[in-house]
Structure 1
Amino acid sequence: MDRILRGIMRYRQLDRKTMVEQFKQVKNNPTPKAVFFTCMDSRMIPTRFTEMNVGDMFIVRNAGNVIPHSHHFLDEITSNEPAALELGCVINDIRHIIVCGHSDCKAINLLYQLQDTNFSSQVNRRKSPIRAWLCAHAWSSLEKFQQLELTDYSMPLIFQAETPQRKFVAYIDPENKLALEDKLSQINALQQLQNIASYGFLKSRLEKHQLHIHALWFDIYTGEIYYFSRQAKQFVIINEDNIETLMDEVENYYM
């Protein structure tokens, strides 16, 4: 707490005045660009690595950047993540949803371990909220990983896109450079796009191309950020060499 309180004092001295001015500018006309789902990991600072400013994004964080599939809510939707989707994309008319996974994700590392039946037993789930959360809402990512494992990590996976009729193909780490848990992390980020598309209140916007879903992946050890390119069918690094190509893809595919 000492460091946090001293940090608040530095904020008061250096940044508060500028930030208040920014709050005033967006108070009556906020124009957020995206709903950004990411992990609660302390190493993930999305506003910093996207250079976003006050009012630019809605940010939703949880263990493993997971968005529960709509089939978990047969009566009333009672989870923060779909509520955030409605608030951002329906009430505030935000047009882009981004899911950002990352390397060495502690939640995903734990998900990988849940393949052990004793580790994921009901007894242990009752004692561990994080195990229960992952078993309930990230198991589909693990099943996709196991499909990949059966092909010696070489064959593509198929995910549902914006509608049940639209699919996209994904090669996960085709150069085989990543740890198994990081392969699972990339799969998990893509699986969330499928989960997002399952919500009926987004159906019309997705079908009319008024709402677009994207996946990013952040390598915390190199600082590099990857975008899932549906044209390239894999996560590709965002850098000076391909930024124009990626921007063209987004403009032509999603707009």
Structure 2
Amino acid sequence: MDRILRGIMKYRQTDRKKMVEQFEVVRNRPEPKAVFFTCMDSRMIPTRFTETNVGDMFVVRNAGNLIPHSQHFLDEATTNEPAALELGCIINDIRHIIVCGHSDCKAMNLLHSLQCQEFSSQKNRRISPLRAWLSAHAYSSLTKFQQLEVSGYHKPLIFQAETPMRKFVAYIDPEDKFSVTDKLSQVNCLQQLQNIASYGFLKRRLERHELHIHALWFDIYTGDIYYFSRQNKRFVDINEVTFNMLEKEVLKYYS
């Protein structure tokens, strides 16, 4: 806590004035461009690696960057994630939703271990909120990953996109650069796009192409950021060589 207090004092002496000025600019007309879902991992600092500023994004964080599928909710039983989708995309008219996973994700490492029946037993879920959370809301990612595993990691996976009739194909780590759990993390990231599309209150906007869903993946050990390109059917490293290609894809399909 001492580190936090000292950080606040440093902020008061350095960044506070500039930040208050930025708050004044966006106070009456905030125009956030994206709802950004990412993991709560302390190494993930999305506003820094996207160079975004005050008022640019709604950021939602949890263990494993999960957006539970709408089928899990009955009546008024819900969680923060769909409420954030409604606040961002319906009330604030945000047009882009981004899900960002990352390498060495502790939640994904645990999810991979849940393939063991004893580890994921009801008894163990009842003493571990994290196991219960992943078992309830990330099992679809694990099932998808198992399809990939059976194929020897070579065959593509198919995910539902914005509407039931729209689907996209994904080759996961075709160059075999990443660990098994990092592959699972990428699968999980794409599964969340399918989960987002399950919400009825987003249906109209998705059908009219007024709302778009994207996936990013961050390699914490290299600092590289990957964008899932539906055109290339894989996560593509965003760099000086690929930027123009990815920008054209985004402008063509998501502007």
Map of 1:97 onto structure 2: 97
Aligned-residue offset at 1:251 = 0.9
Partner SS, residue 231 of structure 1? coil
- Consecutive unaligned residues in structure 2, runs of 5 or more: none
Paired letter, 1:83 = A
- Residue 213 of structure 2: aligned partner: 213
String of CA shifts for 1:134-184, please: whole Å, max 9, x gaps.
Answer: 000000000000000110000000000000000000000001111000000
- Equivalents in 2 of 1:253, 1:18: separation in Å? 36
Local SS of the residue matching 1:59: strand
For residues 94-137 of structure 1, the C-alpha deviation after alignment (integer angstroms, 9 at most, x for no partner) is 00000000000000000000001000000000000000000000
How big is each residue's C-alpha offset from its partner over 1:182-227, in whole Å with a ceiling of 9 and x where there is no partner?
0000000000000000000000000000000000000000000000
Distance in 2, matches of 1:77 and 1:221, equals 38
Corresponding residue number in structure 2 for 1:140: 140
Q: Paired residue for 1:106? A: 106
* CA distance in structure 2 between the aligned counterparts of 1:252 and 1:4, rounded to whole angstroms: 44
Q: Say if 2:241 is the partner of 1:244.
A: no
> What CA distance in whole angstroms lies between the structure 1 residues aligned with 2:121 and 2:143?
17
Instruction: Return the alpha-carbon distance in structure 2 between the equivalents of residues 48 and 215 of structure 1.
Output: 17
Superposed, 1:1-255 pairs within 5 Å as: 1-255=1-255
**Alignment length (residue pairs):** 255
Q: Deviations over 1:45-79 (max 9, x none)?
A: 00000000000000000000000000001222521
User: How much does 1:89 deviate?
Assistant: 0.1
Distance 1:52 1:242 in 2: 21
Alpha-carbon displacement from aligned partner over 1:6-62 (angstroms, at most 9, x marks no partner): 000000000000000000000000000100000000000000000000000000000
- Percent same amino acid at aligned positions? 78
**Partner letter of residue 52 of structure 1?**
T
SS at match of 2:60: strand
Q: How far is 1:233 from its partner?
A: 0.2
Q: Secondary structure at the match of 1:100?
A: strand
Secondary structure in 2 aligned to 1:41?
A: coil
Q: Distance in 1 between matches of 2:110 and 2:60?
A: 21
- Distance in 1 (CA, whole Å) between partners of 2:215 and 2:57 is 15
2:192 partner amino acid? Q
State TM-score, norm by structure 1.
0.99
CA deviation after TM superposition for structure 1 residue 253, in Å: 1.3
Distance 1:237 1:30 in 2: 31
What CA RMSD, in Å, does the superposition of the two structures yield over aligned residues? 0.5
What is the distance in 2 between the residues matched to 1:103 and 1:51? 20
